Structure 1
Amino acid sequence: MSFEDKLRQLVKTKYNKLSDLAEKFDMNYSQLSQYINGKKVSLDFLNKIIEEFPEADLNWLLRDDNINDNRVQEQSESYKAVLNNEQIINKIEVLLDDLKNQIAKE
């Protein structure tokens, strides 16, 4: 999968329209569209992506999956979405209960 395809996939996890992301990034829609369609991205744009999608794995995003060289071939993982706030709180509560139980045993 190309960078452009991965970027498109990433954007769709949070936004229905590219124009919404362009507005969020305070950039021209046509510039964002060019990035989505293969124009080389700026470091500033990548920083915005990191800030807006902290769950994104930049190695996954930037790696060209079509290159077949002598690198170790890792099994690709599907993109994982971030937990929502309720899921995070539930996970923390389970961990806290477990910690309380361990402390009580000591």
Structure 2
Amino acid sequence: MKFEDKLRQLVKTKYDKLSDLAEKFDMNYSQLSQYMNGKKISIEFLTKIIQEFPNADLNWLLRDVDDLHDSVKENSESYKAILNNEQIINKIEILLDDLKSQLAKEE
């Protein structure tokens, strides 16, 4: 799979429209579209991708499948988007409620 195909797959995990990512990156939509269609990326763009998708495996993203025949096998599990602040707080509240419930049972 080519870089641009992997990039497209990665972006879809978090954004419905490419224009949303262009807005997030504060860049011209046509420039982003060119990257998504195979134009060589800049280090600045790659840095933005790393910051926006911190859980993405760069080994997977930057290598062609053909290059991996002698290397460690990549995990085929699809990447999940990170949680936003509200989702993190909700998860913490659920975990705290569960902990309180467990502590109450021990008393």
User: What are the ranges of 5 or more consecutive residues in structure 2 without an aligned counterpart?
Assistant: 97-107
SS in 2 for 1:66: helix
Q: What residue is the counterpart of 1:5 in the other structure?
A: 5
Q: What residue is the counterpart of 1:18 in the other structure?
A: 18
Q: CA deviation at 1:76?
A: 3.9
Q: Distance in 1 between matches of 2:53 and 2:73?
A: 26
Residues 4-51 of structure 1 deviation map (CA, whole Å, 9 limit, x = unaligned): 111001111111111111111111111000000000100000000111
Q: Distance in 1 between matches of 2:58 and 2:68?
A: 19
TM-score by length of 1: 0.70
CA contact (8 A) 1:4 1:35 kept: yes
TM-score by length of 2: 0.69
Q: CA deviation at 1:77?
A: 3.9
The share of aligned pairs that are identical, in percent, is 80
Farther-moved stretch of structure 1 (69-78 vs 20-29): 69-78
Q: CA deviation at 1:54?
A: 1.1
Q: CA deviation at 1:82?
A: 3.5
How large is the RMSD of aligned CA atoms in angstroms?
3.0
CA contact (8 A) 2:13 2:79 kept: no
